[in-house]
Structure 1
Amino acid sequence: MLKFPVILLLFVYLCMDCLLGEVASERENDVCHRRLGMEDGTIQDLDITSSSVATLVGIWWPWYARLNGDFAWLPHLYLTTASWIQVDLKELKTVTGVITQGYDGPHQQYWITTYHILYLDTSLRWDIIRDEESATTFIGNTDAAGQKTNMFDRPIVTRLIRLQPATWDGLPALRMELLGCDFIGPIGPAEVASPASNSPPYADTRTGQPTSSAQASTASKNGASIGRTVAAGVATLIIKILYGSLAPSWHW
């Protein structure tokens, strides 16, 4: 006959096994694949910025890059190389994937066919999602209206994330959504797609210069990054006031 301590240990083991199985099942059932707020507006307009914008007519601003929206983001036609759109999540999030969509206007249809994903890692360094040896090239859309979902091989933990178009059909117009969940620390190797220690630093797309953790930390300490963010926010707010009211009349 089994003694009571043995039965108790067996019961605890079975309960723990069920609990772990339930957690794994929740992960598989998209608990960390929820939409982070581009489409529903949870992510605010001023938290969506870009390297450039095509025109000042009001339909290509980065805050129009919302999944299923009427408009889209489009970089300046002469600055499409190394262009990017950036989303500030306001706090650390676990990001697991992205949904992309092109611009499906009455007279023009544009979409991005491949792209890269950059992010500010926990060492305050801009890095790029990569395979073992090179940057990961994500396959984008095949038409303007359809949606393409790409899940990352490993989740990333970040506050700032960028999508950088690589190739496109017509023009690199984009609507998008980010997938993930709230981040609950501590940060572990499975939760952060950190660059390998022997991997070369990725160039900062704003300057073309290589970045390093030390440089990023210094920039953070002296407030340069904060200053740029504030300046960009103020400029965006002024632009929105001047041109936002014209946007509906420019829908192609």
Structure 2
Amino acid sequence: MEERKWEDLEFYCLVNVLGRVGMESLLLDVPFVCKSWYKASLDPSCWKHLVFPKDLDLEWDSTLLDRFKDKYKIENCSVDAFTKFVVGRSHGKCTGLFLPNGCTEEVAKYVADECPALITLSLPYDIIRSESSIVPSLIGKCEHLENLWLGSSINLENIITQISLACNKFSGLSISSATIHEEEASAIVNLPNIKCLILRRARIDFGNLVIILQGCKNLVHLDARDCIGFDSDDEEVLELASHIKTFKCDGSMLYDYEDDCAIDPDDLLYDGYISY
């Protein structure tokens, strides 16, 4: 029986396979296998789902950016330049994008203009914390957006306002290092189709949690574990959440007795994405 070779695989099948191998392999391995693999790796369909490593600029460890520069003999390449290069490979077809730490608003502007098909988007704290944040206007251009992961609750009201105006199919919100006051809780309630809400390790008091539980009628998944501001065994909370298929509040307490501030908010962001 004649041995079949990978390079003889139909082009669309090869693209389908390579679209699943991940960003690191697409950049550092696949293009160097053979000409057919190199050609297939340039197809925008291979770059529809882009989950960047959390950190691309570390002094004490080798990152994907370091290996990329070494592989392609590039002396200087910033986080912004690398991120825009990878996102550009999708030629507007990117539907899932998790941006790395260290990005500036320049990347956010680029994504807003170049990724009209986004369904899932993750924005790190570095972008959201900017005083002149472009995030609300970015969201306003993402009419197909269904899921959003935020590295902070900064500017949450304005972001949710844009979601309500532009994203008719929006259903999932995850916020790391969140502080939920009445204004933020009321804004969340204004998302009529929200089904998944991840507020793990948020600071949210009993009253504001009640606003969400009473107002978000379509929730099927609410992760409020390890929060500060209410007790996990509060009978009223459990009763109000009884309509939610998956409600998690383990570890939540009224007061922060240990005041543990050693939690990396971006770990929560990625954890929420992976576990749901």
TM band (smaller chain):
under 0.3
TM-score using structure 2 length: 0.22
Higher helix share: 2
Structure with the higher strand share, 1 or 2: 1
Greater relative contact order (Cα < 8 A, sep 6+): 1
Structure-1-length-normalised TM-score: 0.23
